[in-house]
């Protein structure tokens, strides 16, 4: 039987070997399962999360796992949905584990010219440090969801982000499970589940 859980209880897209993570997206997949089950047992998730928060930033994996891949929007939303990631863990709305240098418009323009449609990982692999502040910031349509996770729903800022989220929910075509995590709905759930093989826990729930 395939085991899609790592040794901390995080769910992954592919089977794990000897309990080691098989992907960099354990938090978001675990959040999907948590939502499907209306509350998943925590296992060692809190221990795992505490190991992920180090050097003043939240990382994808705990210190015992060798990985230099920066965190992603998916993992931020997943960990927050599970009640682990708090507002104090983020540096404003930026989730880059790398410190951003003083702003330089000249350097930014030079780095933008180098992008040429590259994936976001190109930014950090090639040290395009001025791009970090933009590439590794929480999108506006996700911020209402995070504020809801943190219980901050009474500010004008929340209603502004909520309006953007409502437009996103209505007009943006859902392409992955993040839309279902934020907005729910059977159609979005089917799109989420279609990302996984038939024997995956997210298909069997």
* Residue ranges of the chain with per-residue pLDDT less than 70: 1, 40-43, 97-99, 120
What is the distance between the alpha carbons of residues 36 and 34, in angstroms, rounded to a whole number?
A: 6
What is the distance between the alpha carbons of residues 57 and 46, in angstroms, rounded to a whole number?
A: 16
Helices (H), 42-139: 45-52, 73-81, 105-115, 121-125, 132-135
3-state SS of 21-44?
A: CCCCCHHHHHHHHHHHCCCCCCCC
Cβ within 8 Å of residue 161, ≥6 positions away:
140, 141, 143, 144, 147
pLDDT of residue 2: 73
pLDDT of residue 102: 84
pLDDT of residue 185: 93
What is the distance between the alpha carbons of residues 200 and 23, in angstroms, rounded to a whole number?
A: 14
The total of other beta-carbon atoms located within 10 Å of residue 67's CB is: 12
What is the distance between the alpha carbons of residues 176 and 198, in angstroms, rounded to a whole number?
A: 17
> Coil, helix or strand for 129?
helix
pTM: 0.88
pLDDT of residue 18: 92
pLDDT of residue 90: 83
pLDDT of residue 97: 63
pLDDT of residue 43: 61
């Amino acid at each position: 039987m395939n085991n899609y859980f790592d040794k901390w209880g995080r769910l992954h897209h592919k089977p794990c070997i000897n309990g080691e993570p098989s992907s960099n997206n354990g938090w978001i997949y675990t959040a999907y399962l948590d939502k499907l089950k209306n509350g998943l047992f925590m296992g060692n998730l809190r221990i795992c999360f505490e190991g992920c928060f180090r050097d003043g930033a939240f990382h994808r994996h705990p210190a015992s796992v060798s990985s230099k891949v920066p965190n992603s929007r998916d993992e931020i939303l997943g960990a927050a949905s599970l009640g682990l990631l708090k507002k104090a863990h983020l540096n404003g709305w930026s989730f880059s584990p790398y410190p951003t240098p003083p702003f330089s418009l000249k350097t930014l323009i030079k780095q933008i010219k180098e992008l040429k449609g590259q994936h976001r990982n190109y930014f950090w692999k090639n040290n395009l440090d001025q791009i970090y502040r933009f590439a590794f910031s929480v999108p506006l349509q996700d911020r209402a969801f995070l504020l809801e996770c943190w219980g901050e729903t009474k500010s004008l800022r929340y209603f502004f982000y909520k309006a953007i989220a409502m437009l996103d929910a209505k007009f943006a075509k859902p392409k992955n499970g993040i839309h279902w995590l934020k907005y729910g709905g059977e159609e979005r759930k089917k799109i989420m589940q279609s990302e996984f093989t038939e024997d995956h826990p997210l298909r069997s729930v």
